[in-house]
Structure 1
Amino acid sequence: MIFAYNPKYVSDTLLVITENDNGLEQTVERKGNVARIQTEDGRVVGWNFFAISDVMTIEGTGQVTLSDEQVAQLNELMRDAGFTEELTPDHEPKFVVGFVKTCEPHEDSDHLSVTEIEVDNGATLQIVCGAPNIRKGLKVVVAKPGAMMPDGMMIWPGELRGVASYGMICSAKELQLPNAPMKRGILELGSDAVIGEAFQVGK
């Protein structure tokens, strides 16, 4: 679940993205200051909360983090508007330090690699990566499914050349880090980076 807030460009509206719409047509049902967004196959993929600053103070812009109390407030707004769904708090960090356990050439590409990345306590994600410097043994920054990149791109499970990929291994430029090198390639972290630890984007 992605919370996004940018009053300068999207007015005083909190956007909540709950699922990938897969490019399907969307319908919007608005009741008061709450709008539910559904795809043509009936899936709820997001919510808009208008005039949100009348209800709560949101810190930051872009992808933002809400407390359990704030999520409870959103659920109350939804109930008061007549919707029956509920949002569930999600405190799992979406940008984390990962360790490249395996790295093999993609069978249907001359530049892609299929990696197995440990992201926390032995949990792994298969990620297809096109960076020239990807290799076994690196510590890297992983954007997990449900992450919003600084440029607004959302990360969802997908496929590259027929191989499933569950996230993205990030470059310093993609993370909009200060003094990010212009050359192509993922960010290589030092040996002291802790696998599974949250990574602060833009820091």
Structure 2
Amino acid sequence: MIYSYNPQQVGDTLLVIAADDKGLEQSVERKFNIAVIKNSEGTLVGLNFFQLSDFMTLAGKGQVYPTEAQIQLLNQQLQLSGFHDIQLPTTEAPKFVVGYVKTCIEHPDSDHLHITETEVDNGEVLQIVCGAANIAAGQKVVVAKPGAMMPDGMLIWPGVLRGVESYGMICSARELHLSNAPEKKGILVLPEDAVVGEAFAVGSAN
């Protein structure tokens, strides 16, 4: 789940992004101050909690990270509003983690893309297509896993690049909005002592 709150731009509404809508038509069901959004396949893709400050105070702007207690409050509101079949998970694995590039080969249909097998948390290995010139096997990198929201608001979902499936993004310092990010292009290569699977703190939008 991705949580976004920007009262200055959107109003007192918490946006919850549950899944990629796949570009399909959407339907909205509203009960009281909650709207549930599903695509034409019936997949839950998002929720809007209107008048959030009536029952909760959230600090921050943009992507926010509700505590377990706050998510329990959101679930309580879902039940009170009559959405008995929906429950938000109270804990989730981090979306930005230290990864290890196990393999890296050239994309068969591109002169600049590479196909990597990159280990992330809990031993999971993701196939990620990367266009950075400095990508190489043996590196420790920052991976935005599917379901991540980049600091500029871009959402990361599984995709296909030149016919090859890709499950995440290997990030540059600039894409992560890190302070003193170098101007030159290329992914951020972490020190050798970085721990694979650890959460990585990204910057914030300007």
Which residue of structure 2 aligns with residue 79 of structure 1?
79
Which residue of structure 2 aligns with residue 202 of structure 1?
203
Identity %: 63
Provide, for residues 6-58 of structure 1, a one-character-per-residue CA deviation record: whole Å limited to 9, x for no partner: 11211111111111001112222211110011112222111000111221121
Q: Is 2:191 the partner of 1:183?
A: no
Which residue of structure 1 aligns with residue 50 of structure 2?
50
The letter for the 1-side match of 2:21 is: D
TM-score by length of 1: 0.95
Which residue of structure 1 aligns with residue 32 of structure 2?
32
Provide, for residues 99-137 of structure 1, a one-character-per-residue CA deviation record: whole Å limited to 9, x for no partner: 111000011111100001111243211100000000011
Displacement over 4 Å in runs of 4+: none
The letter for the 1-side match of 2:49 is: F
Whole-Å separation in 1 of the counterparts to 2:160 and 2:41: 21
The letter for the 2-side match of 1:178 is: S
Unaligned runs of 5+ in 1: none
Provide, for residues 135-162 of structure 1, a one-character-per-residue CA deviation record: whole Å limited to 9, x for no partner: 0111110000111000111111111111
Which residue of structure 1 aligns with residue 158 of structure 2?
157
* Pairwise CA distance, 1:89: 2.2
Which residue of structure 2 aligns with residue 97 of structure 1?
98
Of 25-34 and 10-19, the range deviating more from structure 2: 25-34
Which residue of structure 2 aligns with residue 131 of structure 1?
132
Whole-Å separation in 2 of the counterparts to 1:25 and 1:183: 40
The letter for the 1-side match of 2:48 is: N
Of 147-156 and 4-13, the range deviating more from structure 2: 4-13
Whole-Å separation in 2 of the counterparts to 1:37 and 1:70: 21
Which residue of structure 1 aligns with residue 8 of structure 2?
8
Unaligned runs of 5+ in 2: none
